[in-house]
Structures are given as C-alpha cells and as structure tokens.
Amino acid sequence: MFNLIRIILSVIIPPLGVFLKVGLGGQFWLNILLTLLGYIPGLVHAIWIIAREP
C-alpha cells in the first residue's frame, strides 16, 4: 500500500518518492540529476527504485 503512495508522489515529484524509499543516498541524488535533465528519465528511475525489492 505504501508503495502505491510513493508511486503517486513520484508522478508529481519524482525525487520525493525516491527519498521516501532510500533517504538521502546516491539514488536520491541521481534521481535529482535525472529529473533536472528531463521529467521522464527522473520518473522512470523513481518508479524503478520504488518497484524493486530491497
């Protein structure tokens, strides 16, 4: 259920969903960079991070 909320938040602001999943790690900063380069790469990366199992 919480993954669904993360995905919905990621559609609005991709780094927010990644932050809720992994915190301020490298994946978060990579997602910030990808989102700055284009919304779609940031969104795809965010959904991939949220959907994968720990």
Output the pLDDT for position 2: 83
Give the global pTM.
Answer: 0.88
Rounded to whole angstroms, the Cα distance separating 42 from 44 reads 6
Q: How far is CA 23 from the centre of its chain?
A: 10
Output the pLDDT for position 53: 74
CB-based contacts of 11, cutoff 8 Å, min separation 6? 43
- What 8-state DSSP symbol labels residue 23? -
Output the pLDDT for position 31: 96
Task: Examine the pLDDT at 49 and tell me if it is beyond 80.
Answer: yes
Task: Examine the pLDDT at 43 and tell me if it is beyond 80.
Answer: yes
Q: What is the pLDDT of residues 1-39, one digit of tens each?
A: 788 898 899 999 999 999 999 999 999 999 999 999 999
